[in-house]
Amino acid sequence: MNFKTRYCYLSLICMLLINITTPTLAAHSEIREKNLEEALLQQLHSVIVASLKDIYMTEYATFNCERISNINEKVTVKSKDKGSIRADALHGAKYFEITVSLCNVGVKKDNVELYLKNDTPTAEFYLVGYKTNGRR
């Protein structure tokens, strides 16, 4: 076997290995992302339920599905002249703004978006705003 033939075989084997492993890695990445979303939603569950109780002024909050539709990472900054921005997080600290989409909420089966933020010293999430079926 000459050099060119060996190179062709080696290239073919490498391409086959890449084609075999790439879908597996992509599937693993999707599963990991879904697991992270479910874990975060589990941590936010008490905030979601408390927010729905306040919005609908009811003792019990019900909904069928939930998903995180948006996450924005923010950083507090310190200006030399004016101090820091109005946030309780420490200067230079990261905090997050998360939008949680819920479906079939309450008796009316509304679709609701909750806007949550965790810029407090304890990093606890709280309700900033919400949108119900296109109304705020």
Would you state the pLDDT for residue 94?
A: 83
Q: Read off the pLDDT of residues 77-103 as tens digits, 9 standing for 90 and up.
A: 655 555 555 555 555 678 899 999 999
Q: How many CB atoms lie within 10 A of CB 103?
A: 13
Q: Compute CA distances 127 → 33, 70, 89, 97, 106, whole Å.
A: 24, 15, 16, 10, 18
Cβ atoms 126, 134 nearer than 8 A = no
* Span 39-48, average pLDDT: 93
| Average pLDDT, rounded, for the chain | 79
Query: In the numeric block, which tokens belong to residue 110?
Result: 């509304």
Instruction: Report the sign of the C-alpha dihedral through residues 76, 82, 86, 90, in that order.
Output: positive
Would you state the pLDDT for residue 136?
A: 46
- Poorest-pLDDT segment among 24-33, 83-92, 100-109, 118-127: 83-92
Would you state the pLDDT for residue 61?
A: 84
- The number of folded domains in the chain is 1
Write out the residue range of the structural domain in which residue 21 sits. 3-132
- Poorest-pLDDT segment among 9-13, 43-47, 64-68, 112-116: 9-13
Would you state the pLDDT for residue 110?
A: 87
Q: Which residue has the higher pLDDT, 106 or 46?
A: 46
pLDDT bracket for residue 106 (50, 70, 90): confident
Would you state the pLDDT for residue 12?
A: 63
